[in-house]
Amino acid sequence: MRTVAVLGGSAVGSVTALLLARTGWQVTLVDDEFDLFSTPSPQLRARPGAPHTVQAHGFMARTLHELTTRLPDVRQALLDAGAPLITFASMVPPHWVDGGRPGDEQLDCLRVRRLTLDRVLGEAVAGQSGIRRVDSRATGLLLDESGPVPTATGLGLEDGSSVTAGLVIDAGGRRSPISRWLADAGIVQPQRVDPCEVIYYTRHHRVVGDAPRLNAGFAQIHQFPSFISLLFLGDNDTGMLAMSTHGKDPLLKRLRHDAAFSAVMAAMPGFEEWAVALDPIGSVFCLGALDNRMRFLVRDGRPVVRGLHQVGDALCMTNPTRGRGLSMGLAAAGALCDLLGDESLDPDDLALAYDAWQQRVLAIYYRETAASDVTLDRQLRAGLAGQAIPRNAPGIELPEGHPVTSEDLDRAADADPDLLRATFRATMLLDDERVIASERVAARTRAVLDALPPSPGRPPPPTDGLHDRSVLEAVLAPYA
């Protein structure tokens, strides 16, 4: 019997455990907060091990795609729990739907709060044979250091006992202790860090009456020099409004007060219809600032440790400005479980194959997201200093010397339903093969752009309402 110990039973750890148990693994899933999220009626409160789970979440199509293809019963359970789909057709204007195309259903997204997602996943785990849940804090990584490369053999637990297993998977999130435990054993894990000082304020709401149309397909987004606001809809007529600000902005720290949050919400131009449709549930949750980080367990073509793999935020953590975290986490869990199903791979081959997938697929999604986050940080910093706001980062990473740019793709996608789908697939993390960077897509982009009138260029930035810092100061003045 193949045995695995999974550290962390939140969304990505639960999915990993389910995938492995269903392919014959004996799984021990370790988390010390099952009682906070895997209960029939979880409370809307920040839990110490994963405070971000109360923050606004919108999920790229890849999240639903992973559930549809790998865990269809979980997808159904989410629908049954009141989490509807946002179809591709509802996200774009009718002329872009253009009669529909085979595969459009892959572009659908899920509308769900983390609270509901984690509960439904918890129920699936509880009902799954082959998974043993251990409600405990893991306090160390067991290592066999007798060979040339140390091998992970299990997890130590807070009561002094341990879980031994043939494989250890780290799904312990962005603050996973595994890197520290490896360092304590003299194993330095390579990593890439892209700093970002953005802070998030979220308040949950009930949506009353008919929901207005979302201005950005799966979300309602408004960008101002000092903050960006994102509304994601959740299950059971809920909506989560987030405001992202710069960590060094003293004025916007006032958003932590419920009344200040509501005042800014009510003053946002273009948000009027939504503001009257949202009834607050509970108070504002604040979180930040979080660096983007990608970790590796292979250095110079060799694993730094055997029998240990990472998934989810433990492997790759990005700021949520592009709503990609869970999609990347589930994609990694799926890729790892596929490789574990290939019994011809020895542990080193497996580590190298997973690292190759990480470099070929995940690293591109990571770099695109990190570029957006770092740019948002600079934009908010410029807004705070009253300087010109830098342009957005390219949405899609293209190779050096590619014949078209990410902006060209966006503009052509507005005029061509097939290019629209190609860019959608890339931004929704469904394009692991990078069709978007192919010569074929570049040629079509050129042809579409050649038939369009010249671009009018960027319109001047608005200066009215909350775009003017003094107006924002006046709105927030009562909450000093």
Ligand X SMILES: Cc1cc2nc3c(=O)[nH]c(=O)nc-3n(C[C@H](O)[C@H](O)[C@H](O)COP(=O)(O)OP(=O)(O)OC[C@H]3O[C@@H](n4cnc5c(N)ncnc54)[C@H](O)[C@@H]3O)c2cc1C
List contacts with ligand X (CB under 6 A). Answer: 7-13, 30-33, 49-50, 52, 55, 57-59, 137-138, 171-174, 176-177, 200, 287, 290, 312-314, 320, 323-327, 329
Output the smallest distance, CB 250 to ligand X, in A.
20
Alpha-carbon Rg for the chain, nearest whole angstrom, is 23
Q: Provide, rounded to whole angstroms, the least separation between the CB of residue 84 and ligand X.
A: 17
Query: Among 259, 251, 203, 206, which residue's Cα sits nearest to residue 227?
Result: 251
Task: Determine the Cα–Cα distance for residues 393 and 368; give it in Å rounded to an integer.
Answer: 8
Q: Which is nearer to ligand X, 225 or 323 (CB)?
A: 323
Give yes or no for a cis peptide into 289 (omega within 30° of 0): yes
Cβ 55 to ligand X, closest distance in Å? 4
Which region holds residue 452: left if phi is over 0, alpha if psi is between -120 and 50, else beta?
A: beta
Give the single-character DSSP code of 358: I
Longest dimension (CA), the chain: 71
Owner of token pair 């809809």: 233
3-state secondary structure of 59: coil
Helix axis angle for 417-427 and 439-450, nearest 10°, is: 130
**Distances from the Cα of 393 to the Cα of 371, 406, 423, angstroms:** 6, 9, 15
Which is closer to ligand X, CB of 30 or CB of 304? 30
Give the nearer residue to ligand X in terms of CB position, either 57 or 205: 57
Shortest spacing between CB 64 and ligand X, in angstroms: 11
Written as one string, the DSSP assignment of 281-308 is EEEEEEEE---EEEE-SEETTEESSBSE
Minimal distance in Å, beta carbon 330 to ligand X?
A: 9
| Closest distance to ligand X from the beta carbon of 199 (Å) | 9
Q: Which is nearer to ligand X, 233 or 251 (CB)?
A: 233
CB of 372 to ligand X, least distance (A): 13
Name the residue nearer to ligand X (CB basis): 171 or 340: 171
Which residue type, as a one-letter code, is found at position 100? G
Nearer to ligand X, 59 or 357 (CB): 59
Which one, 278 or 437, has the nearer CB to ligand X? 278
Q: Compute how many other C-beta atoms are within 10 angstroms of the C-beta atom of residue 378.
A: 16
Instruction: Give phi and psi for 139, each to the nearest 5.
Output: -120, 0
Of 134 and 350, CB closest to ligand X: 134
Q: Minimal distance in Å, beta carbon 399 to ligand X?
A: 26
Q: Which residues pair with 316 in a beta bridge?
A: 294
Give yes or no for a contact between 107 and 421, defined as CB atoms under 8 angstroms apart.
Answer: yes
